[in-house]
A and B are shown apart, each in its own frame.
Chain A
Amino acid sequence: MEILAENRAVHADLEPAAPCSNHYYLNMGPQHPSTHGVLRVLLEMDGEYVVDPQPVLGYGHRMHEKMAEHKDWMAFMPNTGRMDYAAALPYNHGYVALFERLCGIEVPARAEYIRVITSELNRIVSHHLWIGAMLLDMGAFTPILYTFDDREQVLDILEDVTGSRLTYCYFRVGGVCKDIDDRFVEKTRAFIKRQRERFDIYNKLVTGNIIFIKRTEGVGIISPEMARRYGVTGPVVRGSGIAYDVRKNEPYSVYPNFDFDIPVGRNGDSYDRYMVRLLEMEQSLRIIEQALDQLPDGPFLGKVPKKLKMPTGDCSFAVEAARGELTYYLVSGGGDIPYRLKIRVPSYSNLSVLPELCQGMLLSDLVAAMGSMDLVIPEIDR
């Protein structure tokens, strides 16, 4: 005992803040297989239990907001596809729609339908990726092989019209850059049929799996009140039982023409968030099906002046991206280059729940909770 006391005196400056604390720090990331890229979480741990998880952002910061202030809309378009690369088309959509709203540009009906079809296909792709990645985090390797197989089917379809597999730059102010043809329609219908059959496989493989249920049920419960304090949106807030979807709340494009439901969860745990996304894929298929049936003829790109002349003022446009509400807020001082573009990304608010959500959790549960949020880090850091 005396030696201990002596030691303490010598190393007085190394004494932990709380005298009898067994807490230690664990650094998770920025290179970690289950942080989906470059998220870093600094964990204060007590044994296996997480006391205080503090995410450290910025490892994927790519200056999108700064670049927007130096480029006209067309030059900035590629950037919009590189924020949330897992579902880039809603980002394209919000950005071009923002300029259409600000400058009062009309979009041909056919273009709006094409936008909706491709955006919803992109949402499905994003959820494919998420199912695979979340299950991979939790130690199941098999599902990702199935979902990536399905994912490639959609990517083939999208590649035909957009020209790229991932970081799309397909929409234009006033329409889209390339028309879809019969082959696209045919392939999309074939995909819808195929995907409906695949849900069975997902359910057999994952949804009913007792290990999966035990690891996600009751883990990471976000209450509706907590969601509101943090501004949580997208499937995460729908998992908590709030039917908030920008497509319904502030309908944009031609979404009012379609009949679709918003799946909501009951408990707000990781399992509910999983179910919400799975059901959302089916709803997206429904939207695509109706859009293909209603697809009007006509031009796919309206008449737009080469150089946009923006009025001075501010303008905001919200769309439902795959991860939640995406809002572009533009302040214009005239001319064709924005004065300031603020991009509200959904995962940013969704992730900010983490410190409160995961206090007192087991470390392995934190991984399940984080996986169920569907994070894309370069989107958060922008």
Chain B
Amino acid sequence: MGDQERGKLNVHSYSAELQARLERGAPGELVVHDPGPLFKHKLADEIFNLCRANSLWPMTFGLACCAIEMMSLGMARFDISRFGSEVFRPSPRQSDLMIVAGTVNKKMASAVMTLYDQMPSPKWVIAMGNCAISGGPFAVEENYNVVEGVDKLIPVDVYVPGCPPRPEGLLEGILKLQEKITGVRHPFPQRKISDAPRY
């Protein structure tokens, strides 16, 4: 984030908290408290990560259009439960994945950060859709209200582009996140299409 952009965001101060976060640095350098692994043992850690990756509990947190596609993903056709993520929790304290599905604006910014802080570690964030990635269609010259990218507020693990992304896109995002957590792509082991069982 360049100085110019930051200046633009700062023109109308909207929350002291946001200010403080912005001053801490670029998105990649955000200071996030990480308590480290539960056990200092490599195998135990790997097993934990495998479990975490296959039971990501997303938070019910729809902001705009993308939320409808997120709902579609949870329903019968796309069926996110095949990958262990169907347990949408309404409370941030019970979830470990935040899918930022939609536009974050000034008024919402502090709420997004509060929710992120309320989630227990380890936690992950998927920025779903162009608005959450960069402001999308609202990153225009006369912008006075939309935060141009949720990564200015909280660290993001996976970006899923689209306006809105298709449910398959979000599904790929979740698979990507599982890959990030465990180092291997799930479902594990991978099968060639020719080996897939025929029903």
Contacts and interface: CB of A to CB of B under 8 A. Distances in A.
Contact of A63 (B69, B77, B145): B145
B68 A82 contact: no
Given A78-B137, A166-B65, A166-B164, A63 B143 contact: yes
Contacts of A86: 68
Interface stretch (A32-40, A199-207, A235-243, A268-276): A32-40
Nearest to B64: A378
A151 B75 CA distance: 11
Nearest to B61: A31
Interface of B: 59-65, 67-69, 71-72, 75-77, 90, 92, 102-103, 105, 107-108, 111, 115, 137-138, 140-146, 163-164, 166
A167 B164 contact: yes
Contacts of B102: 37, 60, 378
B76 A30 contact: no
Contacts of A58: 105, 107
Contact of B140 (A61, A70, A85, A129): A70
Most chain-B Cβ atoms within 10 A of its Cβ — which of A30, A31, A63, A69? A31
A62 B137 CA distance: 10
B12 to A, nearest CB: 13
Given A60-B103, A70-B141, 8 more contacts: A31-B115, A38-B64, A62-B145, A63-B146, A82-B137, A152-B72, A167-B65, A378-B102
Contacts of B62: 36-38
Nearest to B78: A152
Given A62-B146, A66-B144, A70-B140, A82 B64 contact: yes
Interface stretch (A141-149, A219-227, A353-361): A141-149
Given A60-B105, A61-B145, A148-B76, A32 B90 contact: yes
Given A37-B67, A78-B137, A62 B103 contact: yes
Given A60-B103, A62-B146, A152-B77, A129 B111 contact: no
A67 interface: yes
B166 A31 contact: no
B142 A66 contact: yes
Contacts of A151: 72
Contact of A149 (B68, B76, B90, B108): B76
Given A59-B108, A66-B144, A145 B75 contact: yes
A248 interface: no
A62 B105 contact: yes
Contacts of A332: none
A33 B74 CA distance: 14
Contacts of B103: 60, 62, 378
B77 to A, nearest CB: 5
A134 to B, nearest CB: 13
Nearest to B111: A30
Contacts of A8: none
A144 B163 CA distance: 24
A28 to B, nearest CB: 12
A149 B63 contact: no
Contacts of A152: 72, 75, 77
A165 interface: yes
Interface string A366-382: 00000000000010000
A343 B142 CA distance: 18
Contact of B111 (A31, A79, A85, A149): A31
Contacts of B145: 61-63
Nearest to A59: B108
23 contacts: A30-B108, A30-B111, A31-B61, A31-B92, A37-B102, A59-B107, A59-B108, A60-B63, A60-B102, A61-B105, A62-B64, A62-B146, A66-B142, A66-B144, A67-B140, A70-B140, A78-B137, A78-B163, A85-B164, A145-B75, A165-B166, A167-B164, A378-B64
Nearest to A34: B90
Chain A to chain B: the 4 pairs with minimum beta-carbon distance, closest first: A85-B65, A148-B75, A33-B90, A59-B108
Contacts of A79: 137
Contacts of B65: 82, 85, 166-167, 378
Nearest to A159: B166
A168 to B, nearest CB: 11
B75 A144 contact: yes
B22 to A, nearest CB: 20
A149 B67 CA distance: 17
A376 to B, nearest CB: 9
B172 to A, nearest CB: 16
A85 B143 contact: no
